[in-house]
A and B are shown apart, each in its own frame.
Chain A
Amino acid sequence: GAVVSQHPSRVICKSGTSVKIECRSLDFQATTMFWYRQFPKQSLMLMATSNEGSKATYEQGVEKDKFLINHASLTLSTLTVTSAHPEDSSFYICSARGTAGNTIYFGEGSWLTVV
């Protein structure tokens, strides 16, 4: 079946640095990718929706200059957390919707720890 690969699965970075998370659809073309953040014991919170070749649409309260999203191809979207702070430590998950149908596939998630 369709697979979405996300990496790194875990990353620790220093405060003030940037970290990039990749999300790839392995056997289908993803016209739309979604980026979520989940804090412990809380629900998934949609950060942004990205469509291939166009700018991402950010949810209210999500800083677009801090969370840079690039969806340059139909199989790859990246989330870059710039100038990371400890409060950015969270579980980040991507999901992708294929060109056919409404099924959404999730990446395995990335645990970000900012120290």
Chain B
Amino acid sequence: RKEVEQDPGPFNVPEGATVAFNCTYSNSASQSFFWYRQDCRKEPKLLMSVYSSGNEDGRFTAQLNRASQYISLLIRDSKLSDSATYLCVVENDYQLIWGAGTKLIIKP
């Protein structure tokens, strides 16, 4: 079993729709959780950290479920510019473990 698992997609979603991604992790002792966005042929960029209480940043909402060991990312009112690969990242003892990413394609 991979340490961090994501559905690779692609998710083809019409503009304006809501889309949700899930990510599961295997190490129950993981300390920190993040969502990164990676555009084609570019470096990953931090989208948001994920806190136990859940957090929201504009159209993006991230949640953590420690009991079930998964994190989620919700994107509301999706825009064409949201098309990218979304990477789930889990931190264990200062080491980042990366998911393979979920590709999102927003269609007009």
Do A and B come from the same complex? yes
Residues of A at the B interface (CB closer than 8 Å) are: 32, 34, 42-46, 49, 91, 93, 97, 102, 104, 106-109, 111
Taken together as a complex, chains A and B put the C-alpha atoms of A34 and B94 apart, in Å, by 11
Are the CB atoms of A108 and B43 closer together than 8 Å? yes
Instruction: Produce 1/0 per residue, B94-108, CB < 8 A to A.
Output: 111011110000000
Taken together as a complex, chains A and B put the C-alpha atoms of A2 and B46 apart, in Å, by 13
Are the CB atoms of A43 and B98 closer together than 8 Å? yes
Are the CB atoms of A93 and B95 closer together than 8 Å? no
Taken together as a complex, chains A and B put the C-alpha atoms of A93 and B44 apart, in Å, by 9
Q: List 17 A-B contacts (CB under 8 A).
A: A32-B94, A34-B96, A42-B100, A43-B99, A43-B100, A46-B95, A46-B96, A46-B98, A93-B43, A93-B44, A102-B32, A102-B91, A102-B94, A106-B43, A106-B45, A109-B43, A111-B41
- B68-98: which residues lie under 8 A (CB-CB) from chain A? 87, 91, 94-96, 98
Give chain B nearest CB distance to A71 CB in angstroms. Answer: 16
Number of interface residues of B (CB under 8 A): 16
Taking each of A44, A104, A106, which has the highest tally of chain B beta carbons within 10 Å of its own beta carbon?
Answer: A44
Main secondary structure of the interface of A (DSSP, over half): strand
Are the CB atoms of A106 and B44 closer together than 8 Å? yes
- Known pairs A44-B98, A93-B43, A109-B42; list 11 more (Cβ under 8 Å): A32-B94, A43-B87, A45-B98, A91-B41, A102-B32, A102-B91, A104-B46, A106-B43, A107-B43, A108-B42, A108-B43
Residues of B at the A interface (CB closer than 8 Å) are: 32, 41-46, 87, 91, 94-96, 98-101
Q: Which residue of B lies closest to A32 (CB)?
A: B94
Chain A residues, CB < 8 A from B101? 43
Taken together as a complex, chains A and B put the C-alpha atoms of A111 and B43 apart, in Å, by 11
Give chain B nearest CB distance to A42 CB in angstroms. Answer: 6
Chain B residues, CB < 8 A from A106? 43-45
Taken together as a complex, chains A and B put the C-alpha atoms of A107 and B42 apart, in Å, by 10
